[in-house]
Chain A
Amino acid sequence: MTLKEAFESGEALRAYCQENHVSIAEAMQRREVQTSERGRAEIREEMYKNLVVMRESVYEGLTRKQQPVSGLTGGDAHLLFKYGKYNPYSGSNACRAAAAAMAVVEVNASMGKICAAPTAGASGVLPGVLIESARERDWTDEQLVDALFTAGAIGLIFARNATISGAGGGCQAETGVASAMAAAAIVELSGGAPIQALDAAAMTIKNILGLICDPVAGLVECPCIKRNALGAVNALICADMALAGITSLIPFDEVVATMLTVGKDIRSEYRETAKGGLATTPTGKLVAERVRRVRGDK
């Protein structure tokens, strides 16, 4: 099997990895070297820069109260992070990952610097899960860079065979795909086989299949920030399930195809247009009106 074919589906990727005795992260790097004609060191350096921005955005969002331009949100990540130190129901690691995920999206909403993964609106999930899990497990930056290549490979297949945009497939295609990427990444980092990583990714999407994109006032804030928290926890529990030996009855590729079918069936009101769902609740409309009214100010 060629590298090009390896990224046509999850099954092809699994087969390639098995044939060549490599990880998903290794296969992804080989393909990137081939298609970009850049050296391995160069692409790893580029990915490391993404990791640095991810880490800085987590830090920025957790340590400083963010002030989104809309004035609607900000500060929730910090609240959850503080609370998470005192025996939270979701567990301290999950709680911290969720808080970190929210932190990044708050930074994004405040015109701070983030790394899209796969989009800006879903940019919290991957750093939330990776950076916070790394804290407990002493993962090195080299390992985290590998994990980002694993995550990228999963995202690439979604982009190729389905969609990774809220306008194309709803929130399932944004925070959903981000969770699938994060789940696969930590499964592989923990020594899981490619099939386990794919199963973890499949399970995350199954959990939130059909999730709509209904941003209040059309802004990447409500419900996006909290859905990144959910995305982080979803990734963690699915990674745990896969590592525990639980498999996905519906294979990864069929889940990807279903996500696309469901995404197309979601009416356009629920695909980023802010014309349905939470955006058109009485409160949602009121907030939208308020945001619109301040637009003349500086």
Chain B
Amino acid sequence: MLAGLLIIFPLVAAVLVFFTKDGASNFNSTTATGDAVVSFGKKNTARNLAFAASIVEFLLALVAICPVEYAPDSALLNLNCTWVESLGIHFAVSIDSLSLLMVLLTTFLVPLIILSSFKTNYENANSFYGLILFMQMALIGVFTANDGFLFYVFWELALIPIYFICLLWGGENRGQITFKFFVYTLFGSLFMLIGLIYLYNHTNVDGQKSWAVQALYDAGRSLTATQQSAVFWLIFIAFAIKMPIFPFHTWQPDTYVTAPTQGTMLLSGIMLKMGTFGLIKWLLPVVPLGLQEWGNTAIILSVIGIVYASCIAIAQKDFKRLIAYSSIAHVGLISAGILSGNQQGVQGAIMQMLAHGVNVVGLFFIADILLRHTGTRDMDKLGGIRSMNGNFAVLFLIIVLGSVALPLTNGFVGEFLLINGVYQYSAYIAAFAGLTIILGAVYMFRAYQNIMLGEKKSSFIEFGSIAKSDKVVLIVIVIAIIAFGVYPAPLNYFAEVAAQTILNK
């Protein structure tokens, strides 16, 4: 019930927001399509409605916590209706520990993402916020789907709103870049579809084919090692592109930089987790033999990605692009942890997914604030902001610390477990994966130093104070970073259960 509600509610809200009138007033203006136009005195019904809806959605998600812990089989959490009977397709969604965490992450971040847009006035705001809510619907669908086909449908559905968000409200050269992004990800998805259909063809539940997740698990395990290897690659490519893992990452930096801030946040904060979530739920338990055969290769690719992306991040001048590369590095470690296939690795990956989601949204928001207040993200042109706005400097610093995984921040728990997990798999690989700690500190602190410390540069006049809504977003993120750094136990509990369930399946 609740799972279904969590999916339907944003959809209904999205439709409502889409049909609110304000924002459509600019429709005939001759200004460039989609460039953020600052206008004053406009009503913001669409925006406020979207924000309220996302808050309600978050509260709904919180309701799920207790039942997941005490009554995991209750009808509240599970929904299973027939969709296409003759093909064994069901609209089956449920919330278990793993999806609970992902749903909480999504519903926690979406209000922040909407709130973060309050100081930017987007043209056609109703479409913009409608698409964000639509995207939330698809994301929750991905995280709760218990039916392979449904998973695929939501997986694809999530692509459409973000494609339009990037295309309509993105920056320079967005046509080409979003296009590359779309085709790249679709390329992976289609192979995943083939892989899933292949599994489906081998399912057998009472003589019937079925798309149910458990049936697919059984089907996957009944295959020979060669078949499993094929399925492994078919499905892995889709996830690898989504995350992205080296060498499938080439779409990512451009897309992140070009997308509007909220789009980047959705992409990096939540959509990226679709890939890692997919690895955990839709690959790890499906093809154990395939993983044995090729897991090593995949881990090495992930680790190459860590080192490679970190090195490129060090050389970046644009702060947003730096975060984009840092994201590749982080996700490389997450994927290495998952693929190592042990308790610490998977548990750490789940924890790190949550932490990375929060931190990266914070960082991209910082980049957005910098751009709005100084007109540039070029780190060479920035400097000395700390002396102009001390509060901002503190908030920024804490987010940076979370991102480099200092103890007592949320990033630490996950990263520690991850490296532990990879170490159990292979000490050599762990040694390289561990470089992320050092390299991460190098590029993050250098960026902080360049932007906040030192002499004020002549390229901008005054930093000014931060708007209230912006402050709220930053403070909430900082609280989350510290709170779950100091006391990660509640999340850790669910992550542990989730990892155990997946590994014992």
Are A and B subunits of one complex?
no
